[in-house]
Every structure is written in C-alpha cells, then in structure tokens.
C-alpha cells in the first residue's frame, strides 16, 4: 500500500463546487464553441438552392421530354426528388450532407423524405408493423400535424378576408 | 480500513487487473489509439442484423478476450458486473447470458466503466468473490437511435455535441496475480447544475467530475501530483477545459499532474468528424483498458486516476424539460 507516500499529507480542503445553476449556465455558455450562424446560412442557402435547382431541372426535363404542362410535371418531379433523397439516405450519404448543409437539406421535400426513410430503416429491426409502420412518422408526424394546423388557421384568415371584401 | 471519509474505498489488499479485452469500431480504429485495442471492426454492423445485436457482440467479444487472456475458463468468473446505455441495459444482460456468470447489472451511463470496476474490485477485495469481470459497451448507432434521431436522419449537430464511441471494454479482476492494482475508488454523487441541452453533455458533466476529483483528493489525502495522470471519461472539448478551470478556481493544484480526457484521446478530434470528441460507456473503458493499462505495463505510467463521467438523462426526462443529472466515479490504478 502507498498510504505512507510523501505526497500524502493532511487532507487538503478545497472550495466545494458551489455555483448556482444560473451562474454555471452563464459560466458554461461563455466557454462553448460559437456556432457559425453566418456560415451556416450561406451553406444552407447553397445546398437548399442546389436542391431546388436540381428539382427545377427535373421539372424542365418532364416538360420537354414528355410534353407535360408545368402543373402536370410537378407530381413526377416531387416523386423523383423523393426517390433521390431516399436513395441517398439508404446509401448513408444524406446525413453527411446535412451535417455540412444544416437547414439546407431539412427544408425541401428531400428533408421530409429523409426523415421518413431514415426512421423506417432504423426501426426495421422491430418488424414491419411495430417497427417501420409505427415509427415512420416519428419525426415527420409533427410536420404533418402542425402543417395541417397552420393550414387551418391560414384558411380561416383567407376566408375572413374574402368575407370582408 | 476500507472506507475513508464518506465515499472513498481504499483497498487494503488491492485487487489486480489480470487481463482486459477491448473491441472497437471503425472510427475508433481510425483514431490515434487504434494499435492499443485488441480487436478493431471494419464496420458498424459487426455482422449482426441490428445495432443492438452489434453492441452485444462487441461486449461478448471484449469479455471473451479478457477471460481467455487471463487464462481462465468462464465458469471461474464469480460475478460479472456490467452495464450500458441502452434501455434496461440489454447489451450487458444478453452478454451476461452468453457468459453464464452471476450477474450484477449496473447503470451509470458513461460512468458505468468505473462504477463496474469499483464494484468488481470491492467484491474481490472483500473476499466475496475470487474473480470478477467488469464490462461495458456502447455503440454509436444504438445511442443515436435511442437518445437522438435515426442514424441516417439528416440533422446538423452543434459543435458541443459528442460522438458516441462504438466499442466495449472488459477487465478480469482477481485477488492475486500479475498486473496493475486497483488501490482505491471514490464514488460520485449526482451533481446537476442545470444544463438541459443533451447536445452539451460535456458541460453538464464537468461539475460532477470536479466534485469527485476533489472528494477523492480530500478523502485520500493525496495531491494531484500523486498521480502521473488524471483522466476524465468523456468531457471532451467543451467539458474538459471547464473542469480544468473549475478545479483551479477551487484551489486544486491540477497542474501537478497531467489532466486529460478519454473523449479527446480516442479520436483525432481535429480531423475526425466527432464534434467536441468521444462519449459513451466504451470511451473511458476502451481507453483505460486498452491504451492506459498498456502504458502502465510499459512503465510509462505508474499511478493513474480514471474519473468516468456519466450524464444520467433519458430521452423522456429531457423531453419533459428536466435538467441532466450527472455523476462521476473515480478509480485509481497503480503499477
């Protein structure tokens, strides 16, 4: 045993950890690495814009190759973008792009597809019903709920404006 | 006397770490400590159909390596003390099923490595068992799945976030034999200074590490310089400097020793995309049982204090707006 070691003298008394949660939160906040909000905005703009540009290209392709109107081309365009997003999710690429791009990959239709596909893949091990079926909307569910709620209130406002006019 | 102060055990017959087993995944294999691990897997799946089974396989392999390196048969292990991060600590339980040893499941989140080592040491030192196995595991994908988002979900992690280590570490503790000795352990109490952000666990856990380190030094009467190295479990790039600063502010002469963090050692934080650094039960387990014990064996280190830190939150508790209760357990290992 090393209890008689020279380094062991009388028990030192240190100041106890005595910060209040409020003080500590400020203390810790000051020592956090800063999030580069400006850079994140630029990246989100670039990647989000690039995704939309690809979507526009796909739409133009359907319009010229299949002689669709802009309205007719929108459904196959969205389906194509979803497909691309799901493939990139399955290949394990989408999350890596998202770490760089931030909100750029979250906002467009591809982000929604990624949230569903990733949850479906993740919970496949729990079976098709209790795993995939029950968890697919784990993240996308709140988008649908609050999207619907928002649409409800917007349509009420729209209706009120119509009545007032 | 075993108990010193309120929460420190000094083992009068120090138990011996007879052998260890460490198994890690590809990211840890790409890190600076790769050569110190017994087994490095090239992928995260470990030839298993689910992440949970993969984590279990890691722990089973680490236990197997530890037991066989100690030249023991599995039925010689009196008690297996283990835990992990997954709900109801299933990785440890299923690994214990394979091992067939009497099992004590413990949960201390990422502090489980030293919690299990301290308990295994107590069992052996007190004569309650001849051989005990302490083991723990974590897997990046099981942790992501349970605590955060699906692994393939595209969300941006803030720079304060940490990357859960994929791996497992196990140690066979015996009453006598060749190997480094476990001389003391100081058990932590819950310290919660109000951090709520689960993407900033380093800052949440730092005060717990400070509390346990100070408690250990006070109750053993040791100075930091007694140790060649004091290493925290997984405070990483945000939490470790905070702990360092808090120790200095409280008058602890931490500059007497080297003060490092396993979460900053296991990865090349500047090059690998791990945000602030590593975390998870396997972080401190793999670094201690793999890297640090090898350095003790080589004679580069003589006395170390491993302070494994744990953030004891659950997905439910943080969704309900609770703060993160944290803990740290310290174990001293001497050549």
B231-240 pLDDT, tens digit each: 999 999 999 9
Model pLDDT, residue A35 = 84
Query: For residue A34, what is the DSSP state?
Result: P
- pLDDT tens digits, residue range B266-296? 999 999 999 999 999 999 999 999 999 999 9
Q: Do A121 and B150 touch (CB under 8 A)?
A: yes
What element of type H or E holds B92? helix B90-99
Kindly list the residues from chain B whose CB atom is less than 8 angstroms away from the CB atom of residue A130.
Answer: none
List the single best residue of B152, B221, B253 to mutate versus A (max A Cβ within 10 A).
B152
The per-residue DSSP string of A82-106 comes to: HHHHHHHHHTT-HHHHHHHHTHHHH
Kindly list the residues from chain B whose CB atom is less than 8 angstroms away from the CB atom of residue A138.
Answer: 150
Instruction: State mean pLDDT over B127-146.
Output: 97
Tell me the shortest Cα–Cα distance from B224 to chain A, in angstroms. 9
pLDDT at B92 over 50: yes
The answer to whether the pTM exceeds 0.90 is: yes
Q: Do B195 and A89 touch (CB under 8 A)?
A: no
* Residue A129 domain-assigned (yes or no): yes
* Residue A132 domain-assigned (yes or no): yes
* Residue A130 domain-assigned (yes or no): yes
* Residue A48 domain-assigned (yes or no): yes
Indicate the residue of A7, A121, A139 with minimum beta-carbon distance to B223.
A7
Cβ atoms of B83 and B194 within 8 Å: the answer is no
List the single best residue of B9, B56, B150, B228 to mutate versus A (max A Cβ within 10 A).
B150
- pLDDT tens digits, residue range A87-112? 999 999 999 999 999 989 987 799 99
Environment class of B70 (CB within 10 Å of its CB; exposed 0-12, middle 13-18, buried 19+): buried
Indicate the residue of B50, B221, B273 with minimum beta-carbon distance to A8.
B221
pLDDT at A74 over 60: yes
Model pLDDT, residue A3 = 40
- pLDDT tens digits, residue range A17-65? 889 999 999 999 999 998 889 999 999 999 999 999 999 999 999 999 9
What does each C-alpha distance from B119 to A56, B184, B233 come to in angstroms?
A: 62, 11, 17
pLDDT at B327 over 90: yes
Model pLDDT, residue A2 = 40
Dist. CA B17–CA B15, nearest whole Å: 7
ipTM confidence score:
0.89
Tell me the shortest Cα–Cα distance from B176 to chain A, in angstroms. 14
Q: Is B272 helix (H, G, I), strand (E, B) or coil?
A: coil
Cβ atoms of B207 and B191 within 8 Å: the answer is yes
Environment class of A4 (CB within 10 Å of its CB; exposed 0-12, middle 13-18, buried 19+): exposed
* Residue A33 domain-assigned (yes or no): no
Model pLDDT, residue A6 = 38
* Residue A122 domain-assigned (yes or no): yes
Instruction: State mean pLDDT over B244-256.
Output: 96
- Could you list the residue range(s) of the whole structural domain that residue A101 is in? 40-136
Model pLDDT, residue A10 = 55
* Residue A143 domain-assigned (yes or no): no
* Residue A102 domain-assigned (yes or no): yes
Q: Do A94 and B200 touch (CB under 8 A)?
A: no
Q: Domain total for chain A? A: 1
- pLDDT tens digits, residue range B162-198? 999 999 999 999 999 999 999 999 999 999 999 999 9
- pLDDT tens digits, residue range B27-82? 999 999 999 999 999 999 999 999 999 999 999 999 999 999 999 999 999 999 99
Kindly list the residues from chain A whose CB atom is less than 8 angstroms away from the CB atom of residue B251.
Answer: 14-15
Q: Do B150 and A119 touch (CB under 8 A)?
A: yes
Indicate the residue of A3, A7, A95 with minimum beta-carbon distance to B152.
A95
Tell me the shortest Cα–Cα distance from A132 to chain B, in angstroms. 12
């Amino acid at each position: 045993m090393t209890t008689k070691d020279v380094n062991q003298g009388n028990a030192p008394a240190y100041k106890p950890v005595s910060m209040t949660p409020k003080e500590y939160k400020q203390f810790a906040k000051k020592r956090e690495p800063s999030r580069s909000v400006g850079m994140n905005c630029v990246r989100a703009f670039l990647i989000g814009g690039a995704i939309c540009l690809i979507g526009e290209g796909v739409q133009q392709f359907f319009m010229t190759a299949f002689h669709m109107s802009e309205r007719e081309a929108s459904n196959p365009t969205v389906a194509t973008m979803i497909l691309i997003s799901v493939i990139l999710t399955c290949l394990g690429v989408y999350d890596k792009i998202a770490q760089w791009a931030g909100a750029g990959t979250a906002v467009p239709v591809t982000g929604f597809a990624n949230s569903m596909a990733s949850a479906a893949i993740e919970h496949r091990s729990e079976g098709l019903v209790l795993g995939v079926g029950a968890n697919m909307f784990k993240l996308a569910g709140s988008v649908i709920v609050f999207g619907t709620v928002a649409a409800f209130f917007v349509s009420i406002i729209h209706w009120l404006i119509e009545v007032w006019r | 006397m075993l108990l010193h102060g309120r929460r420190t055990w000094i083992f009068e017959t120090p138990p011996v770490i007879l052998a260890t087993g460490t198994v890690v995944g590809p990211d840890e294999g790409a890190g600076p400590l790769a050569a110190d691990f017994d087994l490095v897997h090239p992928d995260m799946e470990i030839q298993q159909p689910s992440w949970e089974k993969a984590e279990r396989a890691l722990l089973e392999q680490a236990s197997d390596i530890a037991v066989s390196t100690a030249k023991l048969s599995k039925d010689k292990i009196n008690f297996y003390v283990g835990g992990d991060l997954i709900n109801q600590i299933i990785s440890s339980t299923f690994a214990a099923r394979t091992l067939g040893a009497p099992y004590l499941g413990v949960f201390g989140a990422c502090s489980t490595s030293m919690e299990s080592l301290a308990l295994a040491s107590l069992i052996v030192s007190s004569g309650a068992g001849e051989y005990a196995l302490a083991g723990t595991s974590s897997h990046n994908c099981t942790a992501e799945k349970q605590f955060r988002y699906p692994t393939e979900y595209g969300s941006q992690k803030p720079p304060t976030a940490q990357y859960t280590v994929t791996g497992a570490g196990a140690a066979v503790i015996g009453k006598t034999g060749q190997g480094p000795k476990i001389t003391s352990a100081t058990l932590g109490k819950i310290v919660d200074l109000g951090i709520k952000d689960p993407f900033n666990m380093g800052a949440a856990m730092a005060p717990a590490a400070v509390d346990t380190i100070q408690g250990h030094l006070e109750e053993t009467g040791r100075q930091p310089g007694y140790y060649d190295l004091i290493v925290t479990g997984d405070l990483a790039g945000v939490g470790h400097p905070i702990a360092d600063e808090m120790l200095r502010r409280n008058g602890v002469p931490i500059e007497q020793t080297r003060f490092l963090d396993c979460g900053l050692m296991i990865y090349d934080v500047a090059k690998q995309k791990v945000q602030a650094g590593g975390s998870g039960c396997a972080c401190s387990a793999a670094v201690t049982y793999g890297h640090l014990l090898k350095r003790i064996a080589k004679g580069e280190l003589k006395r170390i204090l491993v302070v494994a830190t744990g953030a004891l939150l659950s997905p439910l508790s943080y969704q309900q707006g609770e703060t993160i209760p944290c803990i740290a357990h310290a174990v001293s290992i001497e050549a």
